[in-house]
Structure 1
Amino acid sequence: MTTRTPENTATDQAATECEPLRALLRDALLAGDEYTAADLLFTALDGGLTAEQALLDVIAPVQAEVGLGWAANRLTVAQEHVATAMNDRIIAALAHRSPPPAEQRGRITVACVEGEWHALPARLLAETLRLRGWRVDFLGAQAPTPHLIAHLHQTGPDLVALSSSLPTRLPTAHAAVTACQGAGVPVLAGGAAFGADGRYARLLGADGWAPDARAAAEVIEEGLGMPAGAAAHEPVDDLPHLADQEYTMVSRGRARLVRETVDGLADRFPALRDYSRRRRERTAEDIAHIVDFLATALYVDDDELFTAFLTWTAGILDARGVPARSLVPTLELLAEPLRDFPRATRLLHRGGDALAALPHPTGPGKPA
């Protein structure tokens, strides 16, 4: 049971009061009208809305709605990209309109892990921390770990906030966490990749976790430091199951697994041979995503990460009129070259069970 505090109640009330503004902003973004979208927020700021509320109670939930719209096939990829780009520019304009306090509290580096291109959640955190008086170095999307560490040595921040939205970035995030700690800087992890409950942040040894920008700012204000006696270590020290090399073998064999699975599907479903080059490439891309999530699930040794991805994918396919049963033969074909890998075999079997439990039948069908 969650205890409601006066601060929680005030935040919930403010979020509810912002609902009409969120609806107007969403409509403006989906219409491609950036100037109206910006004017809506600036007028609200003049009327008493705080800059933090604009970021976290208006822009953030609208961006989440846009993502859900894409997943439900109500919005195209292009519409989602346009809305995201407009939100990013509006955040920049808002930052210049709302300067941070003159007296700063400390220095924080905010970055997306290497390979992570979803920068808006990290941007929201960076601007929230600035408004609260922190000096923030925002490194943006896809920050290579060596460059991140070089920046830490040059600037000596009090903390690093690492963001990742895609679970497939967890191995890279783990390397970044251990490298930052090796440089003597504590790490706060955030973003959907680390799990709704922060389980992967804890598993990978991060010093703290927060589910969103407001919670992250509060965790930082409470104080987050390195444990006494913390020492540099390797990822395998946190995840001893990596010693079986299954993650390494699957990730290094990715191209071969994808190629062999595509060929196997063509043998089972001759119609695939008549696919256009572009459609065949899309099929290979879909299989590559499955292999990537399989490898990541092996890295963290978590069945739920793989099964959740498969059921989410099934929902995406269903929204686009593609039967989820098309995933089943893919799992069967992947299981053949991985039959001597016990953890991978377990994950593939659990994935098949999860698909079989969906409301729609998942018997043999055409490939996606």
Structure 2
Amino acid sequence: MSGRPDSTTLTRQLSVQFHNSLLRQNEGMVVALARRAVEKGVSPEAFLLEVVAPAQLLIGDAWASGAIGVAQEHAATALSDRAVALVLGAPQRAPVCPPVRGRITVACVEGEWHALSARLVADVLRLHGWQVTFLGAHVPTHHLRNHLRTDPPQVLALSCSMASRLPYVHAAVDTGRSAGIPVLAGGPAFGPHGARARDVGADHWCKDAPDAVEFLAAGTISSGGTPPYVPDPADWEEFSLLTSSRARLVHDLAAGLGHPDPAHPLHHTHLTDHLTLLAESLASSVYLADEIVFAEAVSWLAAIGRPRQLSAAFIESALERMAARLRDFPHAAAVLHAAVD
């Protein structure tokens, strides 16, 4: 019997080592592991999906638990990007399947700064014969519109991780639909089964890169299969007012609340970030007429807040102050009262 591990065992071992190297910000080891994967015959797709993706999920968990900070998370992502580029560019690997399936644009919606997952999807699609244009993080809707007008693909794939950005997903979906381009959606913002992708009018939701490859290979996507989402006029008006007044609301709330840990050197920045998330999620909830969007944001903030000295009482106080400030916004007030109750 051979002592060599099978491919699944090998990629699992590599992913554990890769994750540890990311945590230590050990660039040399990250590069060495990428080269080792190539030498051992790990396919580029397996490296992306079985080594890098699981390691990055653990990096996200480490940030959520407070074990690492934002800078460390960004450093880890940059190292993962380098490893992906190294493996995809390695001369030893098999040649890429020539682009025969068509053209697809992959983009993160406006305000979505987490681009690695979308990049992995783009790279996997490229490996399966798609001609991919990857637009990266935070693509403002008007820039996306210009791109689709001047360089129209056959499919538009949108990535979004935070439900607070769903109104911007809707704008991007409408941009694709108005150009007659089918729209795929993916990312945690759409829920575990993708219901919110359909809510904002996307033609299809894909849970991950293999799902996208399989669905697109079937050739069944077409634009307009999902009814377009049209916000209630009253919800649209409240959303517009909440969005235009968000900075003032966050400023006033921060001034009134103070910080749960005033000794923290970045207390004002952290407080503003937390309150901005609540304000954006509230606006998204109103826009979609879905109070669960805001409730999930509150629960998520409570979870990441515990290791950051952000107490449940402090969050409750913030919600009560928001409700008092927004009592003339009936839909927002209803969402806030549901969250407090």
Q: State the TM-score, normalizing by the size of structure 2.
A: 0.89
User: Are residues 264 and 206 of structure 1, via their aligned partners in 2, closer, same or farther at CA, if it must alter by over 3 Å?
Assistant: same
Q: CA deviation at 1:132?
A: 0.7
Question: SS in structure 1 opposite 2:66?
Answer: coil
Provide the rounded CA distance (Å) in 2 between the counterparts of 1:281 and 1:37.
32
Question: SS in structure 2 opposite 1:336?
Answer: helix
Deviations along 1:250-305, one digit per CA (max 9) or x if unpaired, are 12221232233234336xx9x99x87995334323322221111111111121221
Which of these residues, 10, 18, 23, is aligned with residue 16 of structure 2?
A: 23
Question: SS in structure 2 opposite 1:160?
Answer: strand
Deviations along 1:3-59, one digit per CA (max 9) or x if unpaired, are xxxxxxxxxx96565322111111122222223223223322332321111101110
Deviations along 1:142-183, one digit per CA (max 9) or x if unpaired, are 222222222223333110111111222211111111111111
Provide the rounded CA distance (Å) in 1 between the counterparts of 2:196 and 2:129.
29
1:11-90 residue pairs with structure 2 within 5 A? 18-90=11-83
CA contact (8 A) 2:34 2:86 kept: no
Question: What RMSD over aligned residues (CA atoms) do the two structures have, in Å?
Answer: 2.5
**Partner of 1:258 in structure 2?**
250
Q: AA paired with 2:312?
A: A
Q: Percent identity?
A: 40
Once the two structures are overlaid, the 10-residue window that deviates more, 15-24 or 325-334, is 15-24
Provide the rounded CA distance (Å) in 1 between the counterparts of 2:10 and 2:266.
47
CA contact (8 A) 1:111 1:141 kept: yes
Gaps of 5+ in 1: 1-12, 354-368
**Partner of 1:185 in structure 2?**
181
Which of these residues, 134, 137, 141, is aligned with residue 137 of structure 2?
A: 141
**Partner of 2:191 in structure 1?**
195
Question: SS in structure 2 opposite 1:140?
Answer: coil
Once the two structures are overlaid, the 10-residue window that deviates more, 86-95 or 276-285, is 276-285
CA contact (8 A) 1:161 1:189 kept: yes
**Partner of 1:303 in structure 2?**
291
1:321-340 residue pairs with structure 2 within 5 A? 321-340=309-328
Say how many residue pairs are matched: 332
Which of these residues, 204, 209, 213, is aligned with residue 205 of structure 2?
A: 209
Provide the rounded CA distance (Å) in 2 between the counterparts of 1:198 and 1:65.
22
CA contact (8 A) 1:14 1:57 kept: no
Provide the rounded CA distance (Å) in 2 between the counterparts of 1:210 and 1:62.
21
Q: CA deviation at 1:225?
A: 3.0
Provide the rounded CA distance (Å) in 1 between the counterparts of 2:34 and 2:127.
16
Structure 1 residue runs of 4 or more that deviate by more than 4 Å after TM superposition: 13-17, 274-278
**Partner of 2:84 in structure 1?**
91
Provide the rounded CA distance (Å) in 2 between the counterparts of 1:255 and 1:154.
34
Q: State the TM-score, normalizing by the size of structure 1.
A: 0.83
Once the two structures are overlaid, the 10-residue window that deviates more, 164-173 or 150-159, is 150-159
